[in-house]
Amino acid sequence: MNDSFLNSLNAPYLAELFFKFKEDSNSIDQSWIDFFQTLNDDELSILGDFGGPEWKKRPSNVIDDVSFDKVIRSVADVDSFKTSTLDSIRALRLIRAYRINGHLIANLDPLKLHQKNHHPELDYKSYGFTENDLDRKIFIDGSLGLDKASLREILQILNETYADSIGVEFLHIQSPEQKQWVQERIEEVHNKTNFSNEGKKGIFTRLVESELFEQYLDKKFLGTKRYGIEGSESLIPGIEQIVKQSCLAGVENIFFGTAHRGRLTLLATVLGMPYRGILSKFQGNMNDPNDVLGSGDVKYHLGVSSDREFGGKTIHLSLTPNPSHLEAVDPVVAGKVRAKQTLLKDKKNDKCFGFLIHGDAAMAGQGIVAETFAMSQLRGFRTGGIIHFVINNQIGFTTTPYYGRSAPYCTEIAKMVQAPIFHVNGDDPEAVVHVCRLAAEYRNLFKEDVVVDMFCYRRSGHNEADEPSFTQPLMYKAIKNHPTTLKLYEKQLLEEKILTYEESKKIQIDFKNFLDAEFESAKSYKPNKADWLDGTWSGFKTASLDERKGKTSVNEDILRSIGDQIHKIPDNFNIHKRIKKIFNDRLQSIRNGKNIDWSTAETLAFATLLKEGYGVRLSGQDVGRGTFSQRHAVLYDQENENRFVPLRHFTKEQGLFEIVDSFLSEYGVLGFEYGFSQTDPKTLVLWEAQFGDFSNGAQTIIDQFITTGERKWLRMSGMTLLLPHGHEGQGPEHTSSRLERFLLMCAEDNIQVANCTSPANYFHILRRQLLRDFRKPLILMTPKSTLRHKGNTSPIDDFTNGSTFHRVLRKPLSQKQKDKVTRVVICSGKIYFELQDYIDELNKDDIHLVRIEQLYPFPYNTLKNELKNFSQCEFIWCQEEPKNMGCWIFVHGRINSILKKLHSQQDRLLYIGRRAAASPATGVFARHLANQKNILRLAIEANLKEIESEWDGVSLVKYKLPIE
């Protein structure tokens, strides 16, 4: 049995022959043609690689140096050459198969319940080898770092590298550098780090802390839910490695997002939250200033931040508070990272990254995971790669993976961004630490996502009070008899003589004693202060309940000069004709001080904030142009498509303006922007829905973060939502932003909800978001067709010289005019313009329109002061939305209480609007028009005495209340 004739000197000759065969088969000897023709495509492709892989082609002069005569001197040589070539092809196919599929037989499952040990493509016999071939040296062309190796050696290396405790998926990566990096990094060390004794003891200590802390909690607080880490303890040394490597590489901030599982141990061990602090929460201690103002949250949702030090460098770690809604925190973390990178001018993403910890079921099931991956490399959203760690305990509550996903792995979705995926056995903590190190290196080198999928198990039920054997009896039988990771690692270190039994016991006893001391201290534990107004939030306060208008007006000269600056178009820029006109009209409106429209007001709000040094970031689908072709914040050169963003560089010293056409997501994008707003309170962060109704795609972010975050976690946000809203005959969709739903969520000063009807009010409410010493989310209904309504304009005086936001708007009336009024119609939003037009058309002077511009916080006093002038009049609430939608449910009780206080002759507000309906609007345009007309007619013309007598609280049959 001879070793291979083929070697690195003559292999290029073979490559050359093959190349010629492909180019022109007549140029080579018939015997070689016959030989090549016996090979299948897969085998031929291996031959092609003899010239070196794509990313590492051999220099072509090597081939020139090899002459036929030197290589082959006899027919026997030719035969040997061919035999060796076949051997090499088979061996290389086997190596390739392991690189692709080795993970399928890797020893990943600590419980060995689903372990596969055989795969035909990974069986050398499938390639024509027999046992007799095991010891023959085969030329493998530098693969696995070797020129030649026996099949036995090859198999050993392949099994160690690709099918031991680690299974790697990386050949889906298209970038040659990244693919090569992964391959080299794992092959050169056979996918194993040789840890020093100190390193091993460090891993051991981390496991002790994880296991013993959870045991301690279990003993002291039996049956209390904590979603323990038991079974996945290797997470902790793994994360520790990522933090350490990243810190040493110069990373300054890691933003963590995680779910419930193992969170408490993570807080204590990696994030440095004092054990006594966690224990005091278990003891029910209410002294935490973070709890005092808020309604509090359960222990396993808490956020925390701390500084850690490695090798003289410091790294800041922060864990974002999260709701129960699994994975909802993912885009929020990404947004926080992006904001921090922006603040630090970390353009290369060297200083901060996000770290997400997933459960296997959630990773596979929740669409937001895909949305978060989707933003990975997008302009406006990229953060230079997130490290994902899956605690793959092979179960989701009571659901087994067979029911939980269609894909073989829960991590399949990561392939959409070609992230390398390291599957690893959680019972091999050294392997976990090893892949975590690779993950950190990969992220920090390539600035792209990477995934560690740690196969483990869940020792208890879903929570500590749950009985898991109801549904997984066999799995739990296996778990019951399975030693803990700590026990297994202790055994390994004892066998390796790295630890003595006594040392091991001492480490464990010392830690238990430490926990006892912490438990005692916890009883009187008082954290120093709430951390939520630190850092970028220092100087901010919780909101007061006074008028809090903020100083939002702008000096007129400054406004005019900004107006000039933001409408300058560079000389060589070929602007679209129509946009040129729009820009001219806008500029003239500012110069003339008249008829400033909505979009101009918005631009002025942004520009003035930018000039004052604040940032503005607006994202959403097609926001650059604007869904209604109204914004034109991004201009495109008509000759070459170069972009020009007037607000980006209109003056020397200005804040950063980011306008981002988002990808087609609501949930992910709103979550991202919310996260951004939390990290940078000095940037006005806006998200615009294409149409307001699409915001319900992001309902989880609205419910779980925006409307509740301040109360649950004392985290303020000035997140601003622009939601185009209004009945315009476009059908059931594209009409309603579900204003009613936002209003129902209002309480305890949690958010602001507004529906403005003047550009100046829009200007002020936007500026107000930043010009106060607190932050509140703002939900703003915005115009569609009325963007261009002639009444939807403002004079410059309303922007300047002490002007402010007005929560209630109405025409100022003289006493004489007031005396003529017999009916007050109160409304909010777009219907105002139609009511006013109708009044103008009928030339009526007995109707007074009052617009509520800010619905929450509700402007009781302002409205009362306005209505008191008309206490003897009729009061109508008019809306275009169905009765179960829009504002009616929210306003009528509030306005009735005002009417009562005023002793008005009508103590009950009358409703004019569409009937309660399942669907927000009709799809038939003619019906829409008829209904809209009917609403106006009823509000302005109908005899209310009669209407009232017919009132049955549901419909007004006589007056043909609009039916839809």
Ligand X SMILES: Cc1ncc(C[n+]2csc(CCOP(=O)(O)OP(=O)(O)O)c2C)c(N)n1
Q: Which residues bind ligand X (CB under 6 A)?
A: 261, 324-326, 359-362, 366, 391, 393, 395-397, 458, 462
Nearer to ligand X among residue 261 and residue 338 (C-beta)? 261
Least CB distance to ligand X at residue 326 (A): 4
Nearer to ligand X among residue 206 and residue 458 (C-beta)? 458
Least CB distance to ligand X at residue 364 (A): 8
Least Cα distance to 413 among 332, 464, 358, 466 occurs for 358
Least Cα distance to 90 among 55, 23, 19, 40 occurs for 40
- Tell me if 233 sits within 8 A of 459, measured CB to CB: no
Nearer to ligand X among residue 366 and residue 553 (C-beta)? 366
DSSP state of 323: -
User: Angle at CA 240, nearest 5°, toward 239 and 246?
Assistant: 90
Least CB distance to ligand X at residue 482 (A): 17
Which tokens in the block code for residue 323?
């709701």
Report the alpha-carbon distance of residue 61 to residue 502 in Å, rounded.
63
Least CB distance to ligand X at residue 671 (A): 13
Least CB distance to ligand X at residue 357 (A): 9
Least CB distance to ligand X at residue 172 (A): 24
Nearer to ligand X among residue 298 and residue 664 (C-beta)? 298
Nearer to ligand X among residue 365 and residue 380 (C-beta)? 365
Preceding peptide of 473 cis, ω within 30°: no
Nearer to ligand X among residue 277 and residue 359 (C-beta)? 359
Query: 387 in helix, strand or coil?
Result: strand
Nearer to ligand X among residue 37 and residue 324 (C-beta)? 324
Report the alpha-carbon distance of residue 499 to residue 201 in Å, rounded.
8
Nearer to ligand X among residue 158 and residue 456 (C-beta)? 456
Nearer to ligand X among residue 341 and residue 472 (C-beta)? 472
Nearer to ligand X among residue 395 and residue 809 (C-beta)? 395
Nearer to ligand X among residue 47 and residue 361 (C-beta)? 361
Rg (CA), the chain: 35
- Tell me if 393 sits within 8 A of 108, measured CB to CB: no
Least CB distance to ligand X at residue 8 (A): 48
Residue type, 856: Y
Least CB distance to ligand X at residue 456 (A): 9
Nearer to ligand X among residue 389 and residue 911 (C-beta)? 389
Residue nearest to ligand X (CB): 359
Nearer to ligand X among residue 325 and residue 927 (C-beta)? 325
DSSP readout, 185-198? HHHTTTT-----HH
Phi, psi of 605 (to 5 degrees): -60, -45
- Tell me if 92 sits within 8 A of 124, measured CB to CB: no
- Tell me if 244 sits within 8 A of 484, measured CB to CB: no
Residue type, 546: D
> Containing H/E element for 31?
helix 30-37
Least CB distance to ligand X at residue 668 (A): 14
Report the alpha-carbon distance of residue 555 to residue 801 in Å, rounded.
6
Least CB distance to ligand X at residue 359 (A): 2
Least CB distance to ligand X at residue 216 (A): 20
**Neighbouring residues of 76: CB distance < 8 A, sequence distance ≥ 6:** none
Least CB distance to ligand X at residue 105 (A): 24
Nearer to ligand X among residue 451 and residue 867 (C-beta)? 451
Least Cα distance to 822 among 864, 871, 878, 865 occurs for 871
Q: b/e map of 288-322 (b: 16 or more CB within 10 Å)?
A: bebbeebebbebbbbbbbbebeeeeeebbbbbbbb
Least CB distance to ligand X at residue 462 (A): 6
- Tell me if 348 sits within 8 A of 285, measured CB to CB: no
Least Cα distance to 759 among 719, 734, 788 occurs for 788
Strand partners, 617: 658, 685
- Tell me if 797 sits within 8 A of 593, measured CB to CB: yes
Least CB distance to ligand X at residue 220 (A): 22
Least CB distance to ligand X at residue 457 (A): 10
Torsion sign (Cα): 878, 882, 883, 886: negative
Distance in angstroms between the alpha carbons of the first and the last residue of the chain: 89
Nearer to ligand X among residue 622 and residue 703 (C-beta)? 703
Nearer to ligand X among residue 334 and residue 391 (C-beta)? 391
Least CB distance to ligand X at residue 406 (A): 16
Note the Cα 855 to chain centre separation in Å. 30
Which tokens in the block code for residue 562?
């900004």
DSSP readout, 525-560? ---S---TTSGGGTT--PPPSS-------B-HHHHH
Strands 313-319 and 304-310 turn out to be: antiparallel
- Tell me if 308 sits within 8 A of 341, measured CB to CB: no
Q: Look-up: residue for tokens 């464990």?
A: 508
Least CB distance to ligand X at residue 515 (A): 24
Note the Cα 871 to chain centre separation in Å. 51
Report the alpha-carbon distance of residue 638 to residue 934 in Å, rounded.
46
Nearer to ligand X among residue 212 and residue 362 (C-beta)? 362
Strand ranges inside 541-679, DSSP E: 596-597, 615-620, 635-636, 643-644, 657-661
- Tell me if 909 sits within 8 A of 894, measured CB to CB: no
Nearer to ligand X among residue 404 and residue 886 (C-beta)? 404
Least CB distance to ligand X at residue 397 (A): 4
Note the Cα 341 to chain centre separation in Å. 15
